Amino acid sequence: MSLDGELPPLLRTRRIGRALRFLPSCASTNDEAAAWARAGAPSGAVVIADQQSRGRGRFGRTWHSPPGDDLYFSTVLRPSLPPRAAPPLTLAVAVALAEAVASQGVEPELKWPNDLLLDGKKAAGILTEMVATVERVEFVVVGIGVNLNARHFPDELSARATSIALAAGRPVERAPFCAELCARLEDWYERFVDGGARPIADAWKRHARLFGKPIAVDNGRARVQGVAEDLDEEGALLVRSDGKLVRVVAGEIA
């Protein structure tokens, strides 16, 4: 049975995954989900592909997306929020992802702003893309790529990529994992919409190991070096650099 047949009976959600499209192959699940959203997809609609030809990460990078047992997943969310209040949604998604991965008996680490590591290597990533007017969010597409069962990676990724199966020492069943992810996503999404960003930021920090350590953050234009001190409610990283607290809103930790 394919994933679209296996997943629905396992769902414990009210919205996320209840509208579902499973594609044998596509360019990008985020692109498919965005097109569906523009056509009226409900909040919680999910697109899953077995393979992506142009899966995307941050900064236009390609997400390695071979066919098989990994998860390429995008969901449409429609929070009733002004655009300025939406960025912490990525933190909520990261917490949900960390909890779903931890359910497999491994210890995930969240790397600011949107990566999940296992044993110091990247196992999953998040790409959040928003369509909004000045006053309100029309929809947000949240893309999640998870290396579930991959055991081999291209040479340029082999030193810094891993999978849950490699970390756990056993295969991961895709449909039960996806059902768990949907449940955690719905839980943390509702917590964010109902309770605001502070509890989300606090939960994110519990899954991170960078605070109190020296880091360097590069946003392509400038490089900030110092000690990671905290995360604010909007998801910005606070770095103590040359005695000053610097607020970093975008970039990549080297």
Mean pLDDT over all residues of the chain?
91
21-36 residue pLDDT tens: 999 999 999 999 999 9
Q: Which of 100, 85, 72 is nearest to 207 (CA)?
A: 100
Amino acid at 46: V
CATH fold, domain 3-206, is BirA Bifunctional Protein; domain 2 (3.30.930)
Residues counted in the chain = 254
Two structure tokens written together for 99: 């909890």
Is residue 140 within 8 A of residue 44, CB to CB? The reply is no
Q: What tokens does 186 get?
A: 């719905």
Name which of 223, 229, 222 is nearest 245 in CA terms. Answer: 229
Residues 74-92 pLDDT 10s: 999 999 999 999 999 999 9
Cα–Cα dist 46/20, whole Å? 5
User: Residue 11: is its pLDDT beyond 90?
Assistant: yes
Q: Collapsing DSSP states into helix, strand and coil, what is residue 252?
A: strand
Residue for token pair 């509208």? 19
| Alpha-carbon gap, residue 220 to 93, rounded angstroms | 25
Region 43-66: what's the mean pLDDT?
Answer: 73
Comparison of pLDDT for 159 and 119, the residue scoring more: 119
129 strand-pairing partners:
141
- Please check the confidence at residue 66 and state whether its pLDDT lies above 70: no
Q: How confident is the model at residue 59 (pLDDT cuts 50, 70, 90)?
A: very low
Q: Are 148 and 165 in contact (CB under 8 A)?
A: yes
Residue partners of 93: CB distance under 8 A and separation at least 6 = 126, 128, 142, 144, 185, 188, 189
CATH 2.30.30.100 residue ranges for the chain: 214-253
Q: Is the pLDDT of residue 152 over 50?
A: yes
Residue 162: the pLDDT is 94
Q: 46: burial class by Cβ within 10 Å (0-12, 13-18, 19+)? A: buried
- Alpha-carbon span 143 to 246, nearest angstrom: 29
Q: Report d(CA 190, CA 226) in Å as an integer.
A: 34
Out of 12-16, 56-60, 201-205, 213-217, pick the least confident.
56-60
CATH class of 214-253: mainly beta
**Euclidean distance between CA atoms 104 and 81, whole angstroms:** 33
Q: What are phi and psi of 205, to 5 degrees?
A: -65, -30
pTM of the predicted protein model? 0.92
Burial 191-206 (b: 16+ CB within 10 A, else e): bbeeeebebbbebbbe
**Is the confidence at residue 58, as pLDDT, over 60?**
no
- Beta carbons of 145 and 72 less than 8 angstroms apart: yes
Q: Residues of CATH 3.30.930.10 domain(s) within the chain?
A: 3-206
For position 158, what pLDDT does the model report? 75
Taking CA atoms, 36 is separated from 30, 141, 189, in Å, by 10, 10, 20
| Averaged pLDDT for residues 183-188 | 98
